Structure 1
Amino acid sequence: MDGLIFMFLILLIVLIFYTSRNINTIYFYAYTRLLYIPVIISALKFDIKKSLIIPTIVSVGEFLEIYLTEKSYIFLVTFIISVPIYYFVSVSISYFRMQAERLKKMMEEMQENLRDMENAMISALEAKDVYTQGHSQRVCKLVTQIVLKMGIQGKEAEEIITAARLHDIGKIGIREEILEKPGKLSYQEFAEIMDHPVMGYEIVKKLKVMENVAKIIRHHHERYDGKGYPDGLKGEDIPLGSRIIAVADAFDAMTSKRPYRESPLTIAEAVAELRKNAGVQFDPKVVEAFISIIEDLGIDY
């Protein structure tokens, strides 16, 4: 493929030389500008050493063109000015392209390392609490659907989805006997459970690139009416990602087996609970988007 591109560039140069014979000063100036085309193409494709081949061919060919045709002083001055510019353009474009590719590769590796770290943390939590196995993945899938339905895009969407995967990571610091307790929790035990959003926030915020993700995790148990925890935020003061996770988390909790409940709710019962608590516990717009998703899937409720 590289060889074909080189042949194309050389043919392009030959064509420009051929069509430039017996030219006047204005056309010669325009013709030297046309030679930037192969120079730029090679710089965008090849490394610095290979990309210098084309400016060299261009410079030699341009010199021969002057020597064999007009032998004009003006043409010679134009040539002397053009040659270093050819090399400068070639080296600059090739260098910055290679730097951009290197930066892109570093970003991809960092993203991969972050995903591996997320998977490791979730695996550690699920190994500790059998009842949360698969919960993070299910909530993440639901949140992804809500994000798409609400038209959230770009970095904001990525941060919300990442927070959904890690929203319960703070439970890794909660005692197993509390997480697995089949009966009603005591006030002290529930107070300990209520610490998990803050614990999750403290764990995730240590990564500077996940600062917004950490904030979403911290507030996913806030209530729309301001009676949630840990900070008692209300309405639009709660991060949008937290409001979305709250709906998905509650739905999965209601429709999944839990140690404190004999049997899960049906989809219809869970949807009824979401409707009843829209504007109280949950953001009404998020509940509406979620129910719309269920309707789009043709699920009866």
Structure 2
Amino acid sequence: MYSLKKPKLGTDPKKGWPFYAMQMTSSFIIKDFFLISNYRKCIRHSSNYYDIQNNLIHLMENKTGEVVPQKDMILANAKELSNWTKKMESEGFHELYLHSFIGIWSSFEAGLENCFSDFIENDRTSAEVILTKFKKTPYSIEEWPWTKSICFELASKLELKAKQLTENTGIDYFLRLKTIFAWFGVQIDIEEIHINNLAEANRVRNIILHRNGEIDSKDASDFPSLSEWEGEVMPFTEKIFKNYYDAIIKTLFAINKGTIEKVKREKLIDGFADGK
């Protein structure tokens, strides 16, 4: 349930640029996480919608002595909704967790690129390092600072560069991010369980969007935890959703921690190193 409504942050996007993109991303993701509870409650409360509508129609007809207009259509729609909610609950809200995960991952990817772009735009050292990752580029460090569109163009190409330059990043998504942030002078680390879950989440996202969720033999080989559903669609359970969500959140925390260390070390924000 990706939202386009920006939350209001206390961080100034100019003065607090090293943190702004990741804080915005975290706000989107945490909001989406808690929205699930609201949606789940709404779905459960709709399970008896047919009975409620049927009783209301009977009350109206008894009071007026007339048949309610479009009664059959009203009851048919109510029955369809009630049946759908019961099906959703019987499947463990699979579709709800699935849609939320896609929204959260979209926010995550967008936030990462915005963060890359902010470093390129505001930190000359980062911009210099990024230029070295491209054999050919029409941009010169002498022309820095560049426009936002140029910074975002370069940022959007970094994941592929890291994938090409770093061993096993076709699977290890976190290692790809760790490589990119190291180019910005930001060191990040998370526990191995979250590294594995982040890698799996990235693969599952691609499986969902490009193969309608069907697990193939390579997926099962690369991620043994998916082998149970080889040739089938993996049910997106609450446990799987939380594993992926935790891996994303731990990555955001690591980025924030590494950025704080860089800002203090390089004094990127006046007074920050002194705790002001």
Q: Same fold (TM over 0.5)?
A: no
TM-score for the superposition, normalised by structure 1: 0.26
Q: Which structure: larger Rg?
A: 1
TM score, norm. by length of structure 2 = 0.28
